[in-house]
Amino acid sequence: MEYQLYATCPDEFTDLLAKEIASIGGTGIQIAYRVVYFCASKEVAYKVHLHSRLASRICRVLKEVPAQSPTIIFDKAKRIRFHELFSHKQAISINVFSSNNESKIPNHLIGSKLREAINDCFQHYLKITPNQSSRDATIGITGYLRNKRLMVSVDTSLESLHKRGFRVEGHPAPLKETLAAALLAACEYDGTTNFFDPMCGSGTIVIEAAQIAINRAPLIYRGKGGFGFEYLLDFDSGVWRTIQDRARAAERPAKAGIFASDIDPQFVDITRRTVANAHLEKIVKLEAKDFFNTEKPAEHGLMIANIPYGVRMTEKDVSADFLRAIGDHLKNHFKGWRCGILAPASSPLNEIGLKPHRKVSFLNGAVPVKLIVFDMY
């Protein structure tokens, strides 16, 4: 059986996500604003959840219904066989989003009609009333309204997929794991070359790089019940166990060095504890060191530096003097390396003084940032 699904992500890396889903086995891929639609068998759908580094959430489409009025939404949505999808005992959360809402129906009213439709379905087919609570919900129903059509889906992720399951709290401005993966993908990192993060902060980028280096599935440490699809009636625990076993068996020794440092020993300690939680302490080499006292740790490799700004510094933007110093240090000490610098887009990035190989725009939280990639010949 083929499912129609979609994966959400920031709009800046839908192209990267589409390629990733295709590499895992998704078909019929279509890109829209902040979403990638695809088709997959149950096995491939499970694999995408386990192996995607870039998706924020994944949902399975149940039905698309007309949405000219609340009455029409209820009448069409109640025909969805919710009782065949999940148990009446499970708590259900309902979230509605809209784009080009020409029908002017408030999202909360649409959500109310979807809950009424679920109730009607269970009462009609099973003569029972489903759980009315949304507290600690394991079933997430999503409605997306666009051009007077409502796409009704079930969230098969449960928690956002950027939550890998090993982060240590304590850093004031952590980078999302999905953004770290997008930075590595934009730099064409495949884990076969040396990697260095000289401003590692909480270690998000270097840990993502280390996982790629050993071919580890990014969500392998989510425990039992960590995904939404595990609570659906058609969940196949045998298929899921096989996919997890294959992922573990596919891990390999790192083919190159993974290095990280930071000027602040506290951040190095946070990274060290997170690395240990991720069982990567034998792979990632860490030290407390000022970037301007570092040398390239190997002859060739990829370096990515998320320059401190905003919460980590008094200035929102990075100063021209600081950027010039970075450019000089790269020219003098990182020949033979590809170097990526992530900084606020409003910073005077031309002051780095190097010809970029590539520029890619992202959002880090609410801050527009730019990844500038240099090949240091």
Note the pLDDT of residue 312: 43
Average pLDDT for 259-269:
96
Q: Name the maximum alpha-carbon separation found in the chain.
A: 75
CB of 227 closer than 8 Å to CB of 140: no
In 140-165, which positions are buried (b, 16+ CB within 10 angstroms) versus exposed (e)?
bbbbbbbeeebbbbbbbbbeebbbbe
Q: Which residues lie below 8 Å from residue 188, measured CB to CB, with a gap of 6+? A: none
- Rounded-to-integer distance, Cα 63 and Cα 143, Å: 10
- Rounded-to-integer distance, Cα 325 and Cα 200, Å: 18
Average pLDDT for 350-377:
95
Note the pLDDT of residue 314: 42
Q: Are strands 2-8 and 35-41 parallel, antiparallel or unpaired?
A: antiparallel
Res. 173 pLDDT band, cuts 50 70 90: low
Average pLDDT for 58-80:
96
- Rounded-to-integer distance, Cα 222 and Cα 177, Å: 14
Note the pLDDT of residue 101: 60
Of 222, 199, 208, 238, nearest to 343 by C-alpha is 199
Note the pLDDT of residue 13: 94
Q: Considering only 58-67, 104-113, 203-212, 333-342, which range has the smallest mean pLDDT?
A: 104-113
CB of 343 closer than 8 Å to CB of 304: no
pLDDT digits (tens, 9 = 90+) for 30-42: 999 999 999 999 9
CB of 152 closer than 8 Å to CB of 65: yes
Average pLDDT for 169-193:
91
pLDDT digits (tens, 9 = 90+) for 279-327: 999 999 999 999 999 999 999 999 999 998 754 444 456 899 999 999 9
CA of 345: how far to CAs of 135, 180, 298, 359, 364, in Å? 40, 17, 30, 10, 11
- Rounded-to-integer distance, Cα 60 and Cα 231, Å: 13
pLDDT digits (tens, 9 = 90+) for 115-137: 999 999 999 999 999 999 999 99
Q: Starting at the edge strand that comes first in sequence, how are the strands of the sheet with 92-99 ordered?
A: 27-32, 35-41, 2-8, 57-66, 149-155, 139-146, 92-99
CB of 374 closer than 8 Å to CB of 339: yes
* pLDDT reading at 61 higher than 70: yes
* pLDDT reading at 106 higher than 70: yes
Res. 169 pLDDT band, cuts 50 70 90: confident
Average pLDDT for 227-245:
98
In 21-39, which positions are buried (b, 16+ CB within 10 angstroms) versus exposed (e)?
beebebeeeeeeebbbbbb
Note the pLDDT of residue 373: 98
